[in-house]
Amino acid sequence: MSTNLVLKHTLRFIVLVLLQVLIFNNIRFLGYVNPLIYIWFIISFPTGVNRSLTLLVAFLMGAVIDIFSNTPGMYAFATVFVAFARKDLLQLFVPKDMYANYEPSVKVLGLPIFLKYVTCMVIVLHLLLFTLEAFSFQHYWLVLLKTAINSVVTILLVLSTQKFK
């Protein structure tokens, strides 16, 4: 990656972490709403980057958010998992003849493929994180409800940042 690209992604990283910890983790609407918008960074991370590096960046991002939100390990665990699953999800949905290095977006993949990809990523992340937060199956319905509400909000937020034409 050229220096310019590194700079661009570093900037994205910082802005998304700050948005997540200062705004989206503080929405108190109905007591449930806590969309994990920071995953936008992993969703549109270039696919050409070494997979190990992607995992390390995901771990770093999760760990930073953990430090801010007082939840040691939770975000790191969920983010690394999603970053790991990303390659397989993309292989599942994207046609084989797609070139190797691209940043997943509506413009590159088209709406149907991108939507399928984002939906899977977001639901897995939310389900994992809220389950870890509860750390028991006692609050199962609450976890599912939070996953459903926040996944919808996050998917809408991710789509709203995409250029369609």
Partner 1 sequence: MEQLLRFLMRYGVYFLFVFLEAISFVFIVNQNSFQRASFLSSSNYISASVYSAANSFVEYFGLSEANKQLSDENNQLKNKVVRLEAELAQLTDTTDRRPLVLADKEYQFIAAKVISNSVNKLKNSITLNKGRLDGIEPEMGVINNQGVVGVVSAVTDHYASVIPVLNSKSRISCKSKRSNDFGVLLWNGIDPDYVQVDEVPRHAVIHVRDTLVTSGFSSIFPEGIPVGYVTRCATPENKSYYSIEAKTAAIFRTLSYVKVVKFKYKEELREVQKEEEQ
Q: How far is the CB of 153 from partner 1 (least distance, A)?
A: 13
Can residue 74 be called a binding residue for partner 1 (CB under 8 A)?
A: yes
Give the DSSP H or E segment for 2. Answer: none
Q: How far is the CB of 121 from partner 1 (least distance, A)?
A: 16
Q: How far is the CB of 135 from partner 1 (least distance, A)?
A: 8
Stretch that binds partner 1, among 35-43, 78-86, 114-122, 155-163 (CB under 8 A): 78-86
| Residue 104, CA distances (Å) to 58, 73, 94 in order | 16, 27, 10
Question: DSSP state, 28?
Answer: -
Nearest Cα to Cα of residue 113 among 129, 133, 132, 98: 98
Nearest Cα to Cα of residue 74 among 26, 135, 150: 135
Determine the size of the site formed for partner 1 (CB under 8 A): 35
Query: According to CB under 8 A, which one of 1, 5, 14, 33 is a site residue for partner 1?
Result: 33
